[in-house]
Amino acid sequence: MAFRATGTRALRHQASLWCSASSLSATLRRGFFSRLVNTLIFAEHEEGLVKNSSVRAIEAAGAISKENSISVLLAGTGPDLEKAASHAASAHPLVSQVLVADSDMFLHPVAETCAELVKLVHQMGSYSYIIAASNSFGKNLIPRAAALLDVSPITDVIEVPEPRIFVRPIYAGNALCTVKYTGTDPCMLTIRSTSFPLSTLESRTEASPISQVDISTLKEAALGRSRWLSLTSQDTERPDLGNARIVVTGGRGLKSAENFKLLDKLANKLGAAVGATRAAVDGGFVPNELQVGQTGKVVAPELYLAFGVSGAIQHLAGMRDSKVIVAVNKDADAPVFQVADYGLVADLFQVLPELLEKLPEKK
C-alpha cells in the first residue's frame, strides 16, 4: 500500500527533500571535480630562485580548488636549475611535485621550445589546468602551447570565483569580463600575479618530491624555429618593477632622459623601482623594460608616485590597483587625478628638487 502526502505541509516536506537531494548532488559533484583537478604551473626562475610571479600563480591555482594537485614545471640547465628546483619544492605548501626539464635546449627561455615541452608534459600527466604568470614570457608561452594542444587560452585572470569561471579585465581595465570555460582539458590560463597576493603560509614540514622529465621524444625539428640572440638589462640594485613596494614613475612631462635622472635619485632614497609611461619610452628617455601600462608591466605597489604622467587609459590599466597613488602634474585637468589618492597641481621640476632635499638618505 502506498501513501501520498497532500497539503502545504507535504509540499514543504517534498521541497525540503528535493533541496537536500540537489545540495547533496552538487556537493558530490564538487567533491568529484576536486579530486580530479590536476594543475601544471610553468614557473620561471632566476639565479636559483623561483620568481615571485610564479609563486603567486601557485596561489591562484589554489583558488580553483583546495584539493588541487599542483605540479611545478621548471626548464633550464646547470646548478641554477637544481637550486630553483629545491626552492620550488618548498616555496608553497600547495605544491605536490616539481618536474625538472634539464637540457641545454632550455638554457635560454625561448617560448617555442618551452611550448613544445608543455605539450609533452601534458601528454604525460593529462592536466586539468596549465597556468603561467601573465608577464611577457607567460603571454608568449601560453598561446603557443594552447595552439599546440588545440584549446583556447584565457589571459590576464584576476579572480577565480568558481572552477572554470574566471574574471579578467577588458577595455584597458575599465570593465571586467566573467568567462566560463567550456572547452576540453587543459584549461590554459595566464594569471595577473598582482591580483593574487600570497596568504599567510604555513611552513612546510618537508619538501615536495622532485622528478626529471624525459624529454628524449622532443623533436629537434620543432625546436629550431627561433634562436636566442641576447639579453639586454639594466644592472641595478633596485627592486624588480613588478614586485616593488614603491614605484616612482615619470611621463612625457620630464621632457628628456637627463631629467629622468631626478627620478633615479628619488628612487634611490626611497628604495623604490623606477617606471615610465609609453610616451617616455617612445621618447627614448628610458629603456622599454621600465614601461608600465597595458602593453608594459602591470604593477600594484603600496605606493605609486607619478610625475609628469597625464594618465592615458593604457597607462592607468597597469597601475590602477596600487594601494596609494600620488600624482604631480601642472595640468589640473590631467586624467591621472581621477584615480589619484593625493594630487598636487605643480611644476614637477620644482617639486622633485624639494623632495630630494627634504628626504633623508636611504639607510
Q: Which three cell numbers stand for residue 274?
A: 623606477
Is 294 within any annotated ligand binding site? yes
Distance CA(206)–CA(9), nearest Å, equals: 56
Is 77 within any annotated ligand binding site? no
Is 224 within any annotated ligand binding site? no
Is 35 within any annotated ligand binding site? no
Is 308 within any annotated ligand binding site? yes
Distance CA(300)–CA(268), nearest Å, equals: 19
Residue with grid cell 627561455, as numbered in its chain? 109
Distance CA(88)–CA(98), nearest Å, equals: 7
Geometric angle at alpha carbon 229, from 224 and 233, rounded to 5°: 140
Is 204 within any annotated ligand binding site? no
CB atoms within 10 A of CB 331: 13
Is 38 within any annotated ligand binding site? no
Q: Which residues pair with 306 in a beta bridge?
A: 249, 327
Is 295 within any annotated ligand binding site? yes
Alpha carbon distance, N-terminus to C-terminus of the chain: 88
Which of 53, 21, 57, 298 lies closest to 188 in space, CA to CA? 57
Is 314 within any annotated ligand binding site? yes
Is 168 within any annotated ligand binding site? no
Is 278 within any annotated ligand binding site? yes
Which of 147, 139, 148, 143 lies closest to 191 in space, CA to CA? 139
Is 246 within any annotated ligand binding site? no
Is 291 within any annotated ligand binding site? yes
Annotated binding site for FAD: 252, 277-278, 291-295, 308-315, 329
Binding site as annotated, residues = 252, 277-278, 291-295, 308-315, 329
